[in-house]
């Protein structure tokens, strides 16, 4: 028991190390991960799809049980086959095996199958090992079939050829080893082992078990069941990957629409790569770390961000393990209380007492697991704590110093931004140069992405459907407009995110459903005009639009794409969008300018604001601040292109959780003249500026 516990602790430490290294790599690439985000994504899953995954898991487990019974019976002499338990009882064993397979390093959990069949139903260890080995071999063969199908369907399939070659080698070597080398080696040990060695009990038992296993394998080979076993194995793989694909959709469709729309071959590639990495001889606990590494490598090779890929794979793995271990634990309880367990050497009273003790332990473990998961969900994803904490005002500077700094800046106008300083994110505004602050919205929902109308009299913003929605979730938002003079809010468009004003001052351009850029009059119910749509025309399917901006005297449309076409893009006069760079948050330097600004790596704290004076000009560094607040984000300029507001943190990246502060800079001035506008430990994000003309 101590050795098993030590192995579990060691494998958990290896998993923690691998996950930390993956986290460090993601952070280095500019992505941001947090426990709150992972828990939120799991909780935000599409639960009907999760239920379909659970059904697929149940069905494929029953098919595994049918295959195991077939192999067990085929490996026995005909007069012994009646001792093989029925489908229901073998299914209980397979449910527990599915939960235990990754519990110990190197997939030693597979031996739970042997322990339960031999200890509970008195099936010989040799026959159990035979059916287990042949089942694993056919699993590899079925996986090879799935992989070949993926290579055929995927344009990047050459990246999988190496894996297919390895599987072919594994299948050939496994087949030859089981059906040729094993019988020869067992016979050799029986004939050539000296009597003094055979007198050693454990050695004699090993030789006997090996010989019986070889005999059982030979029986299977002569049974004529190979074709049936292969078909059952293919059905197992089909249901397994169908279920995992549906679970992946359930996890990603609400939070990462670009990943959800990646297509079956791409997702299948990631799932197979993850499973292949989990099967490597790396002693990770429940395959955490190795599974995610394989999936991330595949998804990033297909053009998706490392942060989104890791979060999606880890969320999928967590939810699948929760379901698998829950079903496995319940199956083990039923198995323990099964009245027909073949244990004639144990009195009935003793058997029931042992079953009661083990059941209490398993039940307590399941209850503790459910309670722990519930506490995690409650703590990390309640509307009060899903965002970063409200924080406190920083007393070092205070309002008077802010006002003095803004007066020195010599600009008149106003700055709007989103902040969670008083709870859920709301829209705030500060007057320039007085420094007077106003809270524009107070709806107990997440309000973000404020944008001034060209005349400065209205502010468009996005409001979530729920009290808290991650700002990475493109789907659960509506577009509202608030009149600054009257304070009245108007709902303009539902399911519309990150709206900006068109040059005419009467229309809004926003993202709909993640995959569409739409233009609409700033009036509820107005007719929409489709500008761009992923999958139609020049933008490949599976890509997500983010943060559009209108400029170039109304002729230019700038936006970010996430997916296979990752990067920042510009379209002028409706022409084919041109990729500018691989960064994000692209905007125009002024209403009429052809100069574009955007955020990308590298930088002193990963981020830098870059510029390009014209579509075909060279890229230049505009701002990479010296000092603590050098993780720049959210750049936005005044209509005349003179002033820029932006957010900056000391290294945190997540839009709605990191401690960003808002800064004001006269473009081209020395960095010493940058003015800090906000002083608060909460999250201040997505600023915009309007300068009086």
Closest to 597 (Cα-Cα) out of 607, 606, 584: 584
In a domain, 387, yes or no: no
Same-domain pairing of 534 and 623 = yes
**Section 4-9 average pLDDT:** 64
Gap between the Cα atoms of 162 and 180, Å rounded: 26
The answer to whether residue 485 scores a pLDDT higher than 70 is yes
Q: Which of 381, 407, 432 corresponds to the end of one domain?
A: 381
Q: What is the full DSSP assignment across 515-539?
A: TEEEEEESSTTPPEEEEEETTBTTS
For residue 355, is pLDDT > 60? Answer: no
Same domain, yes or no: 71 and 181? yes
User: What confidence score (pLDDT) does residue 496 get?
Assistant: 93
Confidence category of residue 135, pLDDT binned at 50, 70, 90: confident
Task: For residue 661, give the 3-state DSSP assignment.
Answer: strand
Residue 390 lies in a domain: no
Give whole-number Cα distances, 242 to 66, 257, 468, in Å. 19, 19, 31
CATH number at residue 436: 2.120.10.30
The highest-confidence range among 239-243, 389-393, 408-412, 428-432, by mean pLDDT, is: 428-432
Residues 424, 343 share a domain: no
In Å, how far are 78, 92, 112 from 332, measured between CA atoms?
Answer: 30, 7, 11
- Is pLDDT of 541 > 90? no
**Are residues 306 and 419 both part of a single domain?**
no
Both structure tokens of 152? 């055929």
Question: How many distinct structural domains can be found in the chain?
Answer: 2
Residue 186: its H or E element: helix 182-192
Torsion angle, CA of 181/184/188/191, rounded to 10 degrees? 160
Phi/psi region, residue 627 (left: phi>0; alpha: psi -120 to 50; beta: rest), is left
Q: Which of 381, 410, 444 is the last residue of a domain?
A: 381
List of residues 6+ apart from 273 with CB closer than 8 A: 163, 294, 295, 297, 298
Do 353 and 410 lie in one domain? The reply is no
The closest alpha carbon to 405, from 669, 665, 648, belongs to 665
496-501 and 661-666: which strand pairing?
unpaired
**Domain residues for 532?**
398-691
> What pLDDT, on the 0 to 100 scale, is given for residue 333?
79
**Contact at 8 Å (CB) between 437 and 419?**
no
Taking residues 101-118, report their average pLDDT: 71
* Residues 186 and 293 occupy one common structural domain: yes
> Is there a single domain that holds both residue 410 and residue 336?
no
DSSP three-state, residue 498: strand
Exposure of 414 by Cβ count < 10 A (0-12 exposed, 13-18 middle, 19+ buried)?
buried
What pLDDT does residue 415 have?
Answer: 96
* Helix axes of 306-336 and 264-278: crossing angle, nearest 10 degrees: 60
CA dist., res. 73 & res. 84, Å (int): 7
Answer yes or no: do 259 and 291 share one domain: yes
Please check whether residues 347 and 463 belong to one and the same domain.
no
CA distance 232 to 151: 22
Does 388 fall in a domain?
no
- pLDDT tens for 38-54 read 776 677 678 888 889 99
- Would you say residue 638 lies in a domain? yes
Cβ-proximal residues to 365 (8 Å cutoff; 6+ apart), any chain = 329
Residue 575 lies in a domain: yes
pLDDT in tens, 606-662: 899 999 998 888 999 999 999 899 999 999 999 999 999 999 999 888 888 889 999
- Rounded mean pLDDT of the chain? 79
Mean pLDDT of all residues in 544-550: 94
**Total Cβ atoms within 10 A of residue 170:** 17
Greater pLDDT, 597 or 210 = 597
Task: Tell me the mean pLDDT in the region 302-308.
Answer: 73
Q: What is the mean pLDDT of residues 153-176?
A: 53
128-137, 375-384, 481-490, 548-557: segment of lowest average pLDDT: 375-384
**Does residue 646 belong to any structural domain of this protein?**
yes
Three-state SS at 575: coil
Predicted confidence band of residue 254 (pLDDT cuts 50, 70, 90): low
Which of the residue ranges 269-273, 491-495, 623-627 would you say has the lowest mean pLDDT?
Answer: 269-273
- Could you tell me the CA-to-CA distances from 301 to 26, 157, 357, 563 in Å, in that order? 14, 11, 50, 11
- Domain stop point among 349, 381, 413: 381
The percent of residues in the chain predicted with pLDDT above 70, rounded, is 73
- pLDDT tens digits, one per residue of 586-611: 999 998 889 999 999 888 988 999 99
Q: Residue ranges of the alpha helices (H) in 75-124?
A: 87-100, 111-121
Range of weakest confidence among 106-120, 530-544, 658-672: 106-120
Judge whether 474 and 546 are in contact, CB under 8 Å. Answer: yes
Helix (H, G, I), strand (E, B) or coil at 555: coil
Of residues 522 and 474, more confidence is placed in: 522
The yes-or-no verdict on residue 397 having pLDDT over 90 is no
- Look up residue 418 and give its two tokens: 């989103």
Q: Longest C-alpha distance within the chain, in Å? A: 103
Lowest-confidence range among 73-77, 280-284, 495-499? 280-284
Q: Are strands 684-691 and 567-572 parallel, antiparallel or unpaired?
A: unpaired
Higher pLDDT, 558 or 390: 558
- Whether pTM exceeds 0.75: no
Residue 33 reports pLDDT greater than 70: no
Residue 454 and residue 404 share a domain: yes
Residue 340 lies in a domain: yes
Q: How far apart are CA 68 and CA 134, in angstroms?
A: 9
Q: Are 253 and 316 part of one and the same domain?
A: yes
Q: Give the model's pLDDT for residue 531.
A: 93
Within a domain: 386: no
Do 274 and 422 share a domain, yes or no?
A: no
pLDDT score for 403 = 59
Q: Check pLDDT > 50 for residue 168.
A: yes
Query: What are φ and ψ of residue 491, in 5° steps?
Result: -80, 120
Q: SS3 string of 372-433? A: HHHHHHHHHHCCCCCCCCCCCECCCCHHHHHHHHHHHHCCCEEEEEEECCCCCCEEEEEEEC
HEC string for 462-496: EEECCCCCCCCCCCCEEEEEEECCCCCEEEEECCE
């Amino acid at each position: 028991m101590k050795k098993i516990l030590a192995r579990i602790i060691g494998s958990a430490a290896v998993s923690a190390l691998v996950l930390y290294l993956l986290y460090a790599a993601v952070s280095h690439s500019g992505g941001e991960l947090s426990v709150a985000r992972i828990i939120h994504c799991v909780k935000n899953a599409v639960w009907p799809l999760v239920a379909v995954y659970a059904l697929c898991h149940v069905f494929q487990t029953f098919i595994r049980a049918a295959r195991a019974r077939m192999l067990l019976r085929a490996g026995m002499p005909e007069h012994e086959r009646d001792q093989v338990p029925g489908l229901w009882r073998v299914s209980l064993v397979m449910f527990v095996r599915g939960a235990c397979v990754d519990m110990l390093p190197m997939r030693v959990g597979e031996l739970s199958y042997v322990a339960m069949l031999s200890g509970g139903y008195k099936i010989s260890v040799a026959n159990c090992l035979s059916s287990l080995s042949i089942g694993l071999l056919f699993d590899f063969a079925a996986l090879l079939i799935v992989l070949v199908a993926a290579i055929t369907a995927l344009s990047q399939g050459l990246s999988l050829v190496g894996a297919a070659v390895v599987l072919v080698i594994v299948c050939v070597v496994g087949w030859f080893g089981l059906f040729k080398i094993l019988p020869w080696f067992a016979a050799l040990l029986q004939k050539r082992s000296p009597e003094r060695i055979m007198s050693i009990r454990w050695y004699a038992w090993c030789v006997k078990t090996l010989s019986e296993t070889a005999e059982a394998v030979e029986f299977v080979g002569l049974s004529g069941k190979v074709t049936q076993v292969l078909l059952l194995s293919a059905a197992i793989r089909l249901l397994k990957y169908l279920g995992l694909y549906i679970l992946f959709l359930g996890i990603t469709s609400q939070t990462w629409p670009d990943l959800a729309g990646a297509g079956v071959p791409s997702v299948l590639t990631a799932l197979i790569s993850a499973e292949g990495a989990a099967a490597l001889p790396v002693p990770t606990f429940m395959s955490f770390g190795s599974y995610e590494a394989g999936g991330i490598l595949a998804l990033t090779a297909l053009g998706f961000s490392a942060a989104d890929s890791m979060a999606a794979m880890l969320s999928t793995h967590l939810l699948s393990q929760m379901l698998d271990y829950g079903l496995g634990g319940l199956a083990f309880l039923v198995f323990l209380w099964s009245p027909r367990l073949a244990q004639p050497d144990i009195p009935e009273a003793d058997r029931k007492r042992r079953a009661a003790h083990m059941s209490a332990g398993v039940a307590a473990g399941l209850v503790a697991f459910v309670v722990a998961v519930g506490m995690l969900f409650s703590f990390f994803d309640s509307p009060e704590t899903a965002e970063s904490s409200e924080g406190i005002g920083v007393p070092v500077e205070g309002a008077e110093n802010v006002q003095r700094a803004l007066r020195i800046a010599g600009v008149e106008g106003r700055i709007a931004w989103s902040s969670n300083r008083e709870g859920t994110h709301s829209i705030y505004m500060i007057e320039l140069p007085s420094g007077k602050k106003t809270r524009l919205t107070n709806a107990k929902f997440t309000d973000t992405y404020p944008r001034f109308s060209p005349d400065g009299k209205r502010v468009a913003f996005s409001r979530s459907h729920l009290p808290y929605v991650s700002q990475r979730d493109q789907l659960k938002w509506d577009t509202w407009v608030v009149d600054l003079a009257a304070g009245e809010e108007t709902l303009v468009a539902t399911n519309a995110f990150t709206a900006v004003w068109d040059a005419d001052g009467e229309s809004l351009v926003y993202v709909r459903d993640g995959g569409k850029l739409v233009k609409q009059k700033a009036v509820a119910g107005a007719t929409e005009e489709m500008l761009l749509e992923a999958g139609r025309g020049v933008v490949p399917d599976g890509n997500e639009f983010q943060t559009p901006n209108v400029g170039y005297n109304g002729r230019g449309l700038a936006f970010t794409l996430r997916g296979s076409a990752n990067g920042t893009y510009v379209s002028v006069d409706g022409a084919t969008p041109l990729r500018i760079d691989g960064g994000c948050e692209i905007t125009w330097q002024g209403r009429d300018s052809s100069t574009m600004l955007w955020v990308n790596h590298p930088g002193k704290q990963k981020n830098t604001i870059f510029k390009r004076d014209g579509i075909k000009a060279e890229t230049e560094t505009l701002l990479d601040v010296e000092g603590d607040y050098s993780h720049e984000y959210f750049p936005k300029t005044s209509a005349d292109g003179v002033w820029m507001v932006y957010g900056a943190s000391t290294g945190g990246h997540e839009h709605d959780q990191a401690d960003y502060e808002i800064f004001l800079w006269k473009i081209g001035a020395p960095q010493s003249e940058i003015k800090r506008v906000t002083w608060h430990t909460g999250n201040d994000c997505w600023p915009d500026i309007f300068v009086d003309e």
